[in-house]
Amino acid sequence: MEQNKTNQQNELFHIGKDSNKDSLKVDSRIQNRTNQFLNNQDADQLKKNLSEHSEASRKEIKNQKFSKNRNYEAKDQSETDNIKNPPSEKIEHTITQAQSLWDEGIDFMDYYLFLKNTKFEITDFPLLQELIKSDKDHNILLAVVGLRKLLSLVDNPPRQCVVDADLLPQLITLTNKKNAPKIQFEALWCLTNIACGKAEHVETLVDKGVIPILISFLGTTQGKEDKTKTNIDLDPHKIVEQSIWALGNIAVEDAHYKVKILKEGALKPLGNILQKAEPNTILARNCVWCICNLLRDKPFPKLGELFYLIPIISECLKTNDKNQILTDGIWALYYISEVGEKTNTVMIQCGLIEILKTYIKHSDNSIVLLCVKIFGNFVLREENETQDVIDAEVLPHLHDLLLHQDKIIIRETCWTLSNICAGPTDHISALIKCGIIDKLIELIEADEYGIRSEAGWCISNATAQKNAEIVEEIVSKKGIEAMCCLLKSKIEVKTAIILLEGIKNCLDVGQQSFINEEGFNKFALIFENCGGLDTIEKFYAHEDHLIYQVAEEIIESYFLVGVNFDEDEVDKIHQF
């Protein structure tokens, strides 16, 4: 039974043996393993689950109306470190005072600072609605700052009011007011907060043609961010940063919008910005997050765009150490690794194995888990890529993860190892050499069912080529006893079949190479002595034909021919 390595529909799954039985073909196993691992959750739910060990995912942050609403002023980078708990603005002034102040002759830039410290109420909305239509820049500035503040409210921001008042065309037009960058910036901020709303709000924005306008800002700056400028000076990077934020909000809402953004050519400008962004800045964080949203789910971007991004994101992981940037960067690489079609080859050539080896020991469990998932995709398709992983000495790290406190990480590590076990004998020998097979057998006998099942797939896969040395090693570590122990549990049909096949592989090797002086199959005796025949009895009458068939093959080949499991025949079996 030849092992297969493949990936179908870019899902997570286990590899098993092609047994020439319809329901055991690779494609059916793919769906089974996908459903078992993901528990029928969509990708968004999975991302939330994987992120629960660290900071909330950006999708969660959107739902909480925090970071994407940006209801705060970041006067320096330190104020944005804890994005989930942004500092409140210091409110000192009223809208009436602001209007009076302009009449007294205040400078425009000072006026902007005054407005940033002015309190706006929902009752001010009608006035703001009128002021935004003014031909005076100071009135427009007051209006967009006020609207932005109202749209940044955590509870009941007036997004629908803005839509119903038909203010979106005016706000979109103001984003092109290059002679007044403060107005331009605040208008973009308003659009960002509207894009953080319900699906119908995002749909309205897209219908108004906001996507190409936002993308047009991505190429408006060159070089690195000017840290000498304050928010009042408005470094042009702030405009770009806000545009990226809005695009990210739109992209995460619906795959259809993501496709529109991709077709407008947003990925390469985003990659260029990330490449030049100062490490650990809001610009770097927003950029890698937006890229991550654009890579998530099908349809995937063009291969050329992915090849362009891989080295940029890889370098981003080297130069940044903020958890949000690392998490989104590794998520982006995971999505790329799901594509296949030579993307993994490029990722390995860019040195990502060594980078991921560093982060697989990270204190943030979500980052660790993502690294394991990427390694799982590296060893999924091509044997030479699996060999690259082995040569880079990743196996000792995977061995250590089998001792991790997080059960999800252990289970995902087992999935990765099962695909290595589905490879050639030298790969399996490498697993034996570093003690992984021993640990997997321990997990089958001692851990929770989900992990035991995953580990069982590993051991069964490792027997598939019926290599005498490998099978002997597995049997000597009590691999047969472990598989029998798992069979006694309440397990899924597919897992039961895989374990029965693993046992049959061991018995086949025993018949060929391990006969004792009395002429008996040593491995068959081990199987019988650990209660294997009693275990098979329940499968022999199983309603699933494939389980019955494998159980029958084991009995007829190594114990009795044409057995019927009544009490007399069971006694005969135990007399063997």
Contact of 67 with 83, CB cutoff 8 Å: yes
User: What CA dihedral angle connects 341, 342, 344 and 349, to 10 degrees?
Assistant: -170
Give 195-221 pLDDT, tens digit per residue.
Answer: 999 999 999 999 999 999 999 999 864
What pLDDT sits at residue 35? Answer: 40
Q: Quick one: pLDDT at residue 572?
A: 39
Residue 224's pLDDT is 52
Query: Rounded to 5 degrees, what are φ and ψ at 92?
Result: -125, -20
Total residue length of the chain? 576
Distances (CA, A) of 10 to 7, 19, 298, 428, 466: 6, 23, 9, 25, 30
Confidence at 114, pLDDT banded by 50, 70, 90: very high
Q: Which residues contact 142 (CB under 8 A, 6 or more apart)?
A: 95, 98, 99, 102, 115, 128, 131
The residues near 74 (Cβ < 8 Å, ≥ 6 apart) are 80, 231, 282
Helix axes 545-558, 532-540, angle to 10 degrees: 140
CB-facing half-sphere around the CA of 76: CA atoms within 13 A = 2
Return the pLDDT at 489: 86
Half-sphere exposure of residue 296: CA atoms within 13 angstroms, side-chain side: 26
Q: Is 542 helix (H, G, I), strand (E, B) or coil?
A: coil
The rounded distance, in Å, linking the Cα atoms of 124 and 509 is 82
pLDDT of amino acid 525: 93
Backbone angles phi, psi at 216, to 5 degrees: -60, -25
Q: Both tokens of residue 514?
A: 């391990």
Provide the mean pLDDT of the chain: 81
Q: What is the mean pLDDT of residues 14-33?
A: 33
With a CB cutoff of 8 Å and minimum separation 6, the contacts of 509 are 463, 466, 467, 468, 471, 472, 523
pLDDT score recorded for residue 162: 96
Task: State yes or no: pLDDT of 406 exceeds 50.
Answer: yes
Interaxial angle between packed helices 383-391 and 365-378, expressed in degrees from 0 to 180 and rounded to the nearest 10:
130
Spell out the residues 6+ positions from residue 536 whose beta carbon is closer than 8 angstroms to its own.
500, 551, 554, 555
Beta-carbon contacts of 553 under 8 Å, excluding residues fewer than 6 positions away, are 504
Residue 235 in tokens: 């470094």
Tell me the C-alpha distance between 549 and 539, whole Å: 9
Q: Report the range of poorest mean pLDDT among 372-381, 493-502, 564-573.
A: 564-573
- CA–CA separation, 18 and 4 (whole Å): 7
Record the tokens describing residue 413, joined without a space: 């590590």
DSSP 70: -
> What would the pLDDT profile of 410-456 be if each residue is shown by its tens digit?
999 999 999 999 999 999 999 999 999 999 999 998 768 889 999 99
Which backbone phi and psi does 406 adopt, to 5 degrees?
A: -85, 120
Classify residue 333 as exposed, middle or buried by CB count within 10 Å of its CB (0-12, 13-18, 19+): buried
Convert the pLDDT of each residue in 48-87 to its tens digit: 233 333 333 333 433 433 333 333 333 333 333 333 333 3
Q: What pLDDT, on the 0 to 100 scale, is given for residue 445?
A: 82
The pLDDT confidence band at residue 26, using thresholds 50, 70 and 90, is very low
Instruction: Write down the pLDDT at residue 234.
Output: 52
Q: Which backbone phi and psi does 543 adopt, to 5 degrees? A: -70, -25
The residue that leads in pLDDT, 574 or 457, is 457
Q: Could you give the C-alpha distances from 125 to 154, 396, 576, in angstroms and in order?
A: 17, 62, 89
At 164-180, the pLDDT tens digits run 999 999 999 999 998 99
The answer to whether the CB of 360 falls within 8 A of the CB of 401 is: yes
The pTM assigned to this predicted structure is 0.79
CA distance 348 to 314: 10
Q: Please tell me the predicted confidence (pLDDT) of residue 229.
A: 46
Torsion angle in degrees (nearest 10) through CA of 256, 258, 261, 263: -70
Class of residue 424 by CB neighbours under 10 A (exposed 0-12, middle 13-18, buried 19+): middle
Q: How far apart are CA 165 and CA 204, in angstroms?
A: 13
Q: Which of 292, 194, 192, 204 is nearest to 247 (CA)?
A: 192
Per residue in 273-290, pLDDT tens?
999 999 999 999 999 999
Q: Which amino acid is residue 434, in one-letter code?
A: C
**Percent of the chain whose predicted confidence (pLDDT) is above 70:** 78
Amino acid at 178: K
Q: d(Cα 175, Cα 197) in Å, to the nearest integer?
A: 19
